[in-house]
Homo-oligomer: A and B are copies of this chain.
Amino acid sequence: MTDLLARTADLVAIPSESHQEAALADHVEQRLNGAGGLSVERVGDNVVARTDLGRDHRLVVAGHLDTVPSNDNAQPRIDGDVLWGLGAADMKGGLAVMLELATTLADPAIDVTWVFYTAEEVAAEHNGLGHLFAQRPDLVAGDAAILGEPTDAALEVGCQGSMRVQITFRGARAHTARPWMGRNAIQRAGRLLAALDDYQERRPVIDGCEFREALQAVFVEGGVAANVVPDRAVVMLNHRFAPDHTPDQARDHVASVAGPYLAEGDEFEVLDVAGPAPPGLAHPLLASLRNRNGMEVRAKLGWTDVSRFAAAGIPAVNFGPGDSTLAHNKDERVERRSLDEVHHALAELLRLGP
């Protein structure tokens, strides 16, 4: 059996900060081309390798090539059964498993598409998987998808949507010695902020997985001068919503929370929204992944690229080695056990099919 910890260290040793993935893409492309039996295409620094065996099912397995900037942890270091270094968990461990399977599994029971993509760690507009869905949807099509983000070999299913809302509270200026001549917009905003601090989130259970929503104030700004009752305050909210809500329902929910504190002249604006993804476990490929391994299943509370597959009608889950809470952390690391567990489960799925 290949030493996946060492293979992951090899990948960590190739720097691939977002927008600088070319060297790692070269490495990946070369290894995939060398494996045989795969048709390999490169789109920018995205690399896609596909089997074409005429199987009944096609599984897409995707992982991002890029890392966040180094945090004094660019050099990989193996200590026993643990590899330390930038990207060890997020997600060069996952890439190592993908490359190992892509280059060794000769006769899978299902067709597989391996997607190695750029710029997951930066603004959504740069996301390589997004570019592929926009420019080459044929390359990323499939019946179900697995995203190799770090879940420590558990199944993290679906993902919650994310919406940013900006609310502008209006007031009327006055001298602070006579505030009753005006209306304090900052204090009006305060009533909403206080209500948010008491917010009781929904925890819907979907396909047996409990999601947990959130609604948080992430920015606030207001003020004119130290002796002026302020006539404007701006609050930005971030709402995370479970996949049983559409973006429209999520907007209505935020509006219903804010409504009691708004008045004529105030503004309520949805700045952007990233849709949620349902758990997707109903698909036979993903159900069999869970059932064969009896693995822990958790709802994914953050937003991940599984949502891009869901938006294209492809059920997708997060499943990869490494602890996501260590991602972007100076102490980022991955354990051999986690790599081996993910490798074992995916290899079995590819060998046996649904």
Size class of the contact patch on chain A = 35 or more
Expressed in whole angstroms, the minimum distance between the Cβ of A192 and any Cβ of chain B is: 7
- Alpha-carbon gap, A194 to B220, bound state (A): 14
- Alpha-carbon gap, A223 to B216, bound state (A): 11
- Alpha-carbon gap, A223 to B223, bound state (A): 15
Q: Does A134 reach chain B (CB closer than 8 Å)?
A: no
Are B184 and A190 in contact, with the CB atoms below 8 A?
no
Q: Which residues of B contact A317 (CB under 8 A)?
A: none
Q: Which residues of B contact A195 (CB under 8 A)?
A: 190
Expressed in whole angstroms, the minimum distance between the Cβ of A156 and any Cβ of chain B is: 12
Are A220 and B222 in contact, with the CB atoms below 8 A?
yes
Q: Which residues of B contact A175 (CB under 8 A)?
A: 302
Expressed in whole angstroms, the minimum distance between the Cβ of A143 and any Cβ of chain B is: 28
Are A223 and B220 in contact, with the CB atoms below 8 A?
yes
Expressed in whole angstroms, the minimum distance between the Cβ of A270 and any Cβ of chain B is: 13
Q: Which residues of chain A from 181 to 203 have any CB-CB distance to chain B below 8 Å in the complex?
A: 184, 186-197
Residues of A within 8 A of B (CB): 160, 162, 164, 175-179, 184, 186-197, 214, 216-230, 233, 235-236, 238, 240, 301-303
Q: List 8 A-B contacts (CB under 8 A).
A: A176-B216, A187-B193, A190-B197, A190-B217, A193-B193, A218-B229, A219-B230, A221-B223
